[in-house]
């Protein structure tokens, strides 16, 4: 904020003795009570009081109002009850162990009542999506509305209200192993081209615009998490990618590309353990602000052998469980399916729901995948691989 010079009591021009005396007293009061002026830098920018943020510079867009997340609900006896979702105002201040334990119990209860789910990351029409019959929705709150637009708090609240009046759980996609160059939360095009950080690696050949990340680098982790209060580390004003979701009122986050740890072992020695630590850090940081914040792991199910991973998440989702691991509609090899199921059962035994999505169209294959998944107690969903449309039971599968 620009500080204007204050002329008290007519200093600099003729005045009466009384006025001069009053002016002196006022000036003394201002000196005593005014905060110290910042020391100006020796350049023209300081005279305009510009704040120059370090690069990268996130795209500017209106930020959501910083309001408490909407209360969650838990179905009990056929009716919906509101559950207060306490929010710790300062993200740097951890909640008490008792608060965190109570919140974990609420999260488990909420997730145990989920019987169906839907998944769409692009082209979402929030008005029509309110009518889908799913207990849980996975969306992309950053770029998933319409033609690559971000969600508002009102959009989130609308999605959380199901057509039957019950409270729906809504979580947002967030990749923590790749940086998509179309997301304004990360960095500008200029930054990518001229001053890219060491942790930004090569482009994923299967997904144009997605760049592999050396996830263990502190610079990347702080890019996702923000500073101790969840502010964007590049301008300290907007929220970080994680905290933007919290402040929008979303119920949680759906973590993708956790499995990147298997691709960057040279850059990140002991990568599996360090990825587990990153997910744990993310969950703890989010729950300092909102202890009821849900964390869903997508893929990387082999990391469920680590107790810290199980303890950090509230559910796990698996892509291409029975079909299409090679991005076709072919049935996956029996050995791969057995290994995957063994890992997913670890989550199931720990009381974490298991979701799966197979990107297939064949009615016969859909019926087979559904049967096999439900036999394990897993919740199926079927979708186009680009996730640009939400498929509905009875219409699409």
Residues 310 and 229 in one domain: yes
Question: pTM of the entire structure?
Answer: 0.78
Residues 40 and 95 in one domain: no
Cβ atoms of 363 and 99 closer than 8 Å: no
Number of domains the chain is built from:
2
Q: Does residue 148 sit within a domain?
A: yes
Q: Does residue 331 sit within a domain?
A: yes
Q: Does residue 98 sit within a domain?
A: yes
What is residue 181's predicted lDDT score, i.e. its pLDDT? 78
What is residue 273's predicted lDDT score, i.e. its pLDDT? 98
Residues 24 and 132 in one domain: no
Residues 150 and 34 in one domain: no
What is residue 188's predicted lDDT score, i.e. its pLDDT? 60
What is residue 7's predicted lDDT score, i.e. its pLDDT? 29
Residues 37 and 79 in one domain: no
Domain boundary pick from 32, 47, 62: 47
What is residue 206's predicted lDDT score, i.e. its pLDDT? 82
Domain containing residue 361: CATH number = 3.20.20.70
Q: In what order do the strands lie in the sheet with 200-203?
A: 178-180, 210-213, 200-203
What is residue 19's predicted lDDT score, i.e. its pLDDT? 43
For the chain (397 residues), the mean pLDDT of every run of 10, in chain order, is 31 39 42 41 37 34 35 36 42 83 97 98 96 97 94 98 94 94 66 73 83 94 95 90 97 98 96 98 97 98 98 98 96 98 98 98 98 98 97 97
Q: Does residue 65 sit within a domain?
A: no
Q: Does residue 226 sit within a domain?
A: yes
Q: Does residue 52 sit within a domain?
A: no
Domain that holds residue 41: 18-47
What DSSP designation does 47 have? H
Residues 26 and 137 in one domain: no
Q: How far is CA 176 from CA 32, 41, 206, 241, in A?
A: 50, 38, 17, 10
Q: Does residue 1 sit within a domain?
A: no
Considering Cα of 163, then 167, then 171, then 172, what sign does the dihedral take? Answer: positive
């Amino acid at each position: 904020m620009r500080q204007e010079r204050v002329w008290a009591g007519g200093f600099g021009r003729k005045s009466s003795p009384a006025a001069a005396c009053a002016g002196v007293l006022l000036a003394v009061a201002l000196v005593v009570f005014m905060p110290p002026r910042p020391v100006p830098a020796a350049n023209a920018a300081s005279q305009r009081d510009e704040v120059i943020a370090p690069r990268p510079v996130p795209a500017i867009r209106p930020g959501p109002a910083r309001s408490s997340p909407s209360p969650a609900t838990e179905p009990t006896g056929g009716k919906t009850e509101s559950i207060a979702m306490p929010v710790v105002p300062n993200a740097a201040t951890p909640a008490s162990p008792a608060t965190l334990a109570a919140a974990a119990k609420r999260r488990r209860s909420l997730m145990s009542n989920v019987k169906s789910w839907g998944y769409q990351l692009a082209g979402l029409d929030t008005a029509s999506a309110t009518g889908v019959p799913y207990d849980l929705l996975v969306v992309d709150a950053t770029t998933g509305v319409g033609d690559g637009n971000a969600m508002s708090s009102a959009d989130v609240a609308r999605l959380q209200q199901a057509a039957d009046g019950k409270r729906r759980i809504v979580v947002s996609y967030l990749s923590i192993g790749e940086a998509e160059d179309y997301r304004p939360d990360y960095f500008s095009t200029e930054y990518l081209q001229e001053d890219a950080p060491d942790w930004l690696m090569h482009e994923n050949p299967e997904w144009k615009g997605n760049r592999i990340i050396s996830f263990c680098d502190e610079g990347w982790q702080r890019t996702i998490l923000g500073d101790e209060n969840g502010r964007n580390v590049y301008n300290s004003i907007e929220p970080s990618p994680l905290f933007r979701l919290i402040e929008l009122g979303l119920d949680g986050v759906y973590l993708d590309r956790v499995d990147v740890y298997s691709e960057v072992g040279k850059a990140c020695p002991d990568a599996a353990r360090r990825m587990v630590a990153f997910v744990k850090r993310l969950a703890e940081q989010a729950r300092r602000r909102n202890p009821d914040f849900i964390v869903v792991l997508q893929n990387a199910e082999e990391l469920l052998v680590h107790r810290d991973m199980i303890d950090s998440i509230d559910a796990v989702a698996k892509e291409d469980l029975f079909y299409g691991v090679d991005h076709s509609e072919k049935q996956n090899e029996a050995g791969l399916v057995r290994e995957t199921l063994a890992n997913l059962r670890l989550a199931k035994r720990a009381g974490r729901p298991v979701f799966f999505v197979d990107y297939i169209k064949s009615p016969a294959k859909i019926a087979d995948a559904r049967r096999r998944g439900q036999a394990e107690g897993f919740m199926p969903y079927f979708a186009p691989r680009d996730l640009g449309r939400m498929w509905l039971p009875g219409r699409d599968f």
